Structure 1
Amino acid sequence: MSTEIKKDILRGGQFLVKETKCEDVFTPEDFTEEQIMMKESVKEFIDREVWPHKERFEKKDYALTEEIMRKAGELGFLGIAVPEAYDGMGMGFVSTMLTCDYISGATGSIATAFGAHTGIGTMPITLYGTEEQKKKYVPALAAGEKFGAYCLTEPGAGSDANSGKTKAVLSEDGKHYLISGQKMWISNAGFAEIFIVFARIEDDKNITGFIVEFDKDNPNGMTLGEEEHKLGIHSSSTRQVFFNETKVPVENMLSERGNGFKIAMNALNVGRIKLAAACLDAQRRVITEATKYANERIQFKTPIAKFGAIKAKLAEMATSCYVGESACYRAAKNIEDRIAIRESEGNTHQEAELKGVEEYAIECSILKVKISEDIQNVTDEGIQIFGGMGFSADTPMESAWRDARISRIYEGTNEINRMLAVGMLVKKAMKGHVNLLEPAMKVADELMAIPSFDIPDYSELFAEEKELLGKLKKVFLMVAGSAVQKFGPKLEEHQQLLMAAADILIEIYMVESSILRTEKNAKRFGEESQEVQIAMTKLNLFNAVEKITTKAKEGIVSFAEGDEQRMMLMGLKRFTKYANMPNVVALRNKIAEKMTAENEYCF
């Protein structure tokens, strides 16, 4: 890979302080022919095997979930990310995201089973296992001949994963570890045969990972609890797993002793961006069903799709999905390119993928938070559009809403991920990987200076929007820079301030991603072809400005007083000011009318 390409790929978090050209981002419109074929193949599989059986999934048909997973394995969908050396398809990160996206839309039960198996069930062995471990376990996992599960969470160790009490004691002959403890919320536990289990050896500071085989006919000290009764994902097998001196060969230790916490955190980074992708097709399907119903439902002799209140809902739903797609595939390609760079520099595939994903951990957390909240909002509005029927289990909205709720808890709660995003950005700045100090100082100087009264040239597409985006970045630098200066290492104690800063950061990334996608497509396909996408991009920016204004005010008044507070609030007003405020109602109408004409989410 050339030096020029390397230079164009920003490091994780640098989007905040460096400009990205639209030509340098990847969009769904850039899918290769192979990726389009994969997308259509997965979508056809879900439409045939899953969507018609939604009722069965709501009735806790765990056997159906296992059957669908075996079929997915036979078609190769479980091995997309697995290297060819271990009987996988060895496809790139974008293709793995795409598969996760389209296989997850019909029901949260399959989305969970697929994510738990391919991600946290298989990936730790692929990335951390010895050659012998990979050859022994990965081919069967890739083919769906055996299924994986991931045992990290305990009754007293949720977000604080490293505080688990499960113990691993070396046997007297030194050939086995005896694992004892309790794990909970274990997805796929009811039909998994290969468990990634985390336990503490002696008084080690960090936990250690193990590969544990489970045979129901010879349980080896393992006991499964009953299936959990859950709000949603009814046919996702979720059980407690108990270990009573379960014998695990010493060669089944995963990576090195004490490396379990690192494995868990890196698995979560991948899991977060994949979870974001897994919410996308769910949004598309809900939006399409809501659009169809709005066209069919007649009230006062008029389809409700023609009512302004319904148009607003449909437009906002579609906009959030379009923006989520833009950001997900932008980040996925950045990760894929970073992996390729590392491999070209001599890293093994394992090292390259681990470091490639870790590089964009900030973006992974951003996407997990934003899109998991978007799917909840979309399903909620879907119920509202259906009215009383939306509350009925006879329509797909009710189950979609319940399934969506877990997404804000999976892979680290959204509260944890908000604080992680800002915390990781500050750490990158301290290490010199993201230059936040100089831009923050420039913003501080700008607050003291007289603002320019020059009238910019807004003749080019998104000229004003890009200028406003640049100013929104200044809002984050102003708030976060002042907060770091004031609190230093104690910043992490001010969680509500971190949460407000994270919301600003999230909105900036999503706004920039949608602008870049739409600009790129307008340049190559023509502005007229992107008329509605332009409307969605402008609508999303308007919404982001409103949210950033609120969150920045909340942050500023939490730590600044007197003249400092007044100066920062004046700066905030300057940085969030439009030159030409968009007609939001007209934007929403344009988006909704396109959807109702097509009778689906059509972007």
Structure 2
Amino acid sequence: MSGTLSGEKVRGGSFIIEDIGCERIVTPEDFTEEQRMIAQTTEDFVQTEIAPHDEEIEKLNYELTVEKLRKAGEIGLLGADVPEAYGGLGLDKVSTTLITEKLTQASSFALSVGAHVGIGTLPIVYFGNEQQKRKYLPALASGEKLAAYCLTEPSSGSDALGARTTAVLSEDGSHYVLNGTKQFITNAGFADVFIVYAKVNGTDFSTFIVERTMPGVSVGPEEKKMGIKGSSTCPLILEDVRVPAENLLWEVGKGHLIAFNILNIGRFKLAAGAVGASKDAIELAARYANERVQFGRPISSFPLIGKKLAEMNVRTFALESMVYRTAGLFDEGLADVGQGGGADNAGLQAAKAIAEYQLECSINKVFGSETLDFVVDEGVQIHGGYGFIQEYKIERMYRDSRINRIFEGTNEINRMLIPGTLVKRALKGELPLMQKAMGLQAELMELQSAGQWFEGVLEQEAHMLNMTKKIFLFVGAQAVQKYQTKLEQEQEVLSHLADIMISAFAMESALLRARKRIAKNGEDKERHAIAMATVFVHEEFGRIEAWAKEALAAMESGDTLRTQLSVLKKLTRRTQANVLGLKREIAARVIEAERYVV
């Protein structure tokens, strides 16, 4: 299985109103031998080339970082997303996701790689014309040249379209003159190629390929950061920079399509990195818990430490399931790009294919960054006072993880994008959201108050997932009816709706993966996966109920609220699973293995 789903393509955002079989999703259990070899090659590179120089890289040694980036290029790690025609490997998204996951053990170096291969190179891969691809991609794939992405400005962060950098076309049409300052640019200290966003004539948001050697290009001092200290982060200053007209990427005024779609890929890759970092933190914490003796026994033998390790493992299981499910969706969506319509139309095809799953990218980004923050925070707690000491890797991981909730659009911005994107797709007729919401009203009236009995494995959890989707439609319909065109101003309610969607995608991904494993190996051999899926669904469902109650109470009061809460009570009725007992079982396996266990 190469990562491509069979049958009709899955529409982005459809998971909240439709069900899907476990055979339709990609999971880590589907990796091919070639994909496993790619993952091993990446791990070997990190252990042999990066780990021995970790402390020196962390001190921001440009020369060493560039040397190692070029070595990564020599073995293909920088060209995984670049088509073979331009010197790359042209790998599928599952394979490139594996590379991203495995690189995270390289700490700050992983960020240097990620900025180069993702947001630095992909704009040219997807939106460059033939001349631009042939000029830049082979050198970027090999590491001969290194890239950076320049969107943020001192006065515009999440408000990307508020950028003030300008581009003015010369009278003879031969070049654009760029002026402005870009802020917090990863790899700026040593990058050769910059993807720069500027407004042509101060209005048309556009994208340019700018070279470091062009007169007027300069780089400011390194920022002194909380974490990711081994990565370069500087301002880029553009003073009357003459950029050849042929370095305009795609078309004037199309910069927002490039920026937002490349950010979607960046958000997804961030989540993939969070998978690897979470696994690393679990291994560090489990090993330390077995070694640390207090009151005459290893602290791993204390139930509260085991509970932490179990929860870290469960959330990472859900995240990993989401990430590779989404990688499969990307492989499906991008499979036909470049086939038909000619090379000039490839950018538009790529933009459309990437945009299809922008909602899932935001979901992965939010859940991934917050899962990693949870895991490393618990990792520090398990280490106790030693977790606060720089000698222990978990301390650095704690600091490094914090930027992920800000990178690639803050989690607050992404939470607003999730329901907003869904509604826009529905209004365009791409998803039958409104029809599903209207059909739900009659169904809610027929709901029985009595509880249901579920005897089959994960049957109740599947029912809870189904109820989660109904809760989203129920609360969402109330919000649309209450606020109508002013809904976007009710950010707290939208945030709760986003969280319900995030949980639904995570729950479904974990459940489908567990069911896929059961179908292959049988229930007896998959008790661990069943336990993790059960724990995750029950704990998320409790959060979903709380978010729904808060949102409803924000919109209504009195008898109307009481009526709505009675409906919600029917939707949330369940038999509580023994999650504490299941966590003890999960913890025992993690403690024994001293690593993330599936």
TM over 0.5: yes
Alignment of structure 1 residues 221-232 onto 2, 5 Å: 221-232=216-227
Could you tell me which residue of structure 1 aligns to residue 414 of structure 2? 417
1:467-500 deviations in whole A, cap 9, x for unaligned? 1110011111111111112222221111111111
Alpha carbons of structure 1 residues 347 and 172: separation in structure 2 relative to 1, 3 Å: closer
Counterpart for residue 295 of structure 1: 290
Alpha-carbon separation, structure 1, partners of 2:579 and 2:63: 48
Unaligned runs of 5+ in 2: none
Give TM-score scaled by structure 2 length.
0.96
- Tell me, in whole angstroms, the C-alpha distance in 1 between the residues paired with 2:247 and 2:366: 34
Question: Which residue of 228, 250, 262 corresponds with 1:267?
Answer: 262
Matched-pair contact (CA < 8 Å) for 1:27–1:329: yes
| Letter in structure 2 aligned against 1:164 | A
- 3-state SS of 1:10 partner: coil
1:371 CA displacement: 0.6
User: Which of 536, 548, 551 is the matching residue for 1:555?
Assistant: 551
1:149 alignment counterpart: 148
SS of the residue aligned with 1:104? helix
Judge which range, 187-196 or 331-340, deviates more.
Answer: 331-340
Give the whole-Å Cα distance in 1 for the aligned partners of 2:529 and 2:61: 40
Q: Deviations over 1:82-103 (max 9, x none)?
A: 1011010011111111111111
Which residue in 1 is equivalent to 2:571? 575
Aligned counterpart, 1:433? 430
From 327, 331, 355, give the equivalent of 2:322. Answer: 327
SS at match of 1:73: helix
User: Does residue 162 of structure 1 match 2:161?
Assistant: yes
Question: Secondary structure of 1:207's match?
Answer: strand
Q: Deviations over 1:523-568 (max 9, x none)?
A: 1022222211111111111110111111111111111223331122
Q: CA deviation at 1:338?
A: 2.1
- Per-residue CA distance 1:26-73 (angstroms, 9 max, x = gap): 100100111000011101111222234433343333333222211111
Moved more, 326-335 or 172-181: 172-181
CA distance in 2, matches of 1:233, 1:484: 41
Deviation at 1:169, TM superposition (A): 1.5
Q: CA deviation at 1:450?
A: 5.0
Alignment correspondent of 1:360: 357
Does the aligned pair in 2 maintain the 1:340–1:352 contact within 8 Å? no
Shift of residue 452 of structure 1? 6.2
Q: Is the 8 A contact 1:23 1:520 kept in 2?
A: yes
Compute the displacement of 1:422 (Å): 0.7
Q: In the TM superposition, what are the counterparts of 1:417-566 in structure 2 within 5 Å? A: 417-451=414-448, 453=450, 455-456=452-453, 458-566=454-562
Aligned-residue offset at 1:432: 1.6
After superposing the two structures, state which structure 1 stretch, 111-120 or 74-83, moved more: 111-120
Q: Are the equivalent residues in 2 in contact too, given 1:291–1:595 (CA < 8 A)?
A: yes
Equivalent residue for 1:314? Answer: 309
* Amino acid paired to 1:486: K
CA distance in 2, matches of 1:594, 1:466: 25
C-alpha separation between the residues in 2 aligned to 1:295 and 1:6? Answer: 44
Partner SS, residue 186 of structure 1:
strand
Counterpart residue type for residue 311 of structure 1? G
The structure 2 residue matched to 1:282, chosen from 277, 300, 303, is 277
Does the CA contact (< 8 Å) of 1:447 and 1:568 recur in 2? no
Question: 1:388 corresponds to which letter in structure 2?
Answer: G
Tell me, yes or no, if the aligned pair for 1:62 and 1:235 is still in contact at 8 Å.
no
Offset at residue 313 of structure 1 (A)? 0.5
Letter paired with 2:508: E
Secondary structure at the aligned position of 2:402 is classed as helix
Give 1:331 deviation, angstroms: 1.1
Task: Report the 3-state secondary structure (helix = DSSP H, G, I; strand = E; otherwise coil) of the residue aligned with 1:192.
Answer: coil
Q: How many angstroms does 1:401 deviate by?
A: 0.6
Contact 1:475 1:552 in 2 (8 A): yes
- SS of the aligned residue for 1:79 comes to coil
Q: Does 1:233 align with 2:228?
A: yes
> In structure 2, the residue corresponding to 1:563 is in which secondary structure?
helix
Between the aligned partners of 1:6 and 1:288, the Cα distance in structure 2 is 35
Percent of paired sites with the same residue? 44
Instruction: Give the equivalent residue in structure 1 for 2:61.
Output: 61
Instruction: Tell me which amino acid in the other structure corresponds to 2:275.
Output: L
Aligned AA (1:209): T
**RMSD of equivalent CA atoms:** 1.7
1:304 corresponds to which of 290, 299, 308: 299
Partner of 2:377: 380
How many Å separate the matches in 1 of 2:61 and 2:168? 38
Partner of 1:210: 208
2:210 maps to a residue whose letter is V
| C-alpha displacement of 1:461 | 2.2
Deviates more, 1:554-563 or 1:135-144: 554-563
Shift of 1:367: 0.4
Q: C-alpha displacement at 1:453, in angstroms?
A: 4.2
Paired residue for 1:124? 123
- Tell whether the 8 Å contact from 1:79 to 1:118 is kept in structure 2 after alignment: yes
* Shift in CA distance, 245/299, structure 1 to aligned 2, threshold 3 Å: same
1:127/1:344 CA distance change after superposition, 3 Å: closer
What amino acid does structure 1 have at the position aligned with 2:589? Answer: K
Conserved 8 A contact 1:106-1:285: no
Distance in 2 separating the partners of 1:356 and 1:435: 20
| Residue identity in the other structure for 1:71 | K
CA drift at 1:6? 6.4
Give the distance between the partners of 1:208 and 1:410, measured in 2 at CA.
21
Q: Which range moves more in the overlay, 391-400 or 591-600?
A: 591-600
Q: Which moved more, 1:46-55 or 1:459-468?
A: 46-55
Query: Which whole-Å CA distance do the structure 1 matches of 2:552 and 2:57 have between them?
Result: 47
Aligned length: 593
Distance 1:137 1:450, change over 3 A: closer
What is the CA–CA distance in structure 1 between the aligned matches of 2:445 and 2:519, rounded to whole Å?
38
- In the other structure, the counterpart of 1:592 is 587
Find the aligned partners of 1:460 and 1:345 in 2 and give their Cα distance: 48
1:531 and 1:51 map into 2 onto residues whose CA distance is 36
Local SS of the residue matching 2:105: coil
After superposition, what is the alpha-carbon deviation per residue over 1:293-320, rounded to whole angstroms, capped at 9, x for unaligned?
A: 0011111111100101101100010111
Q: 1:5 to 1:93 in 2, by over 3 A?
A: closer
For 2:26, the equivalent position in structure 1 comes to 26
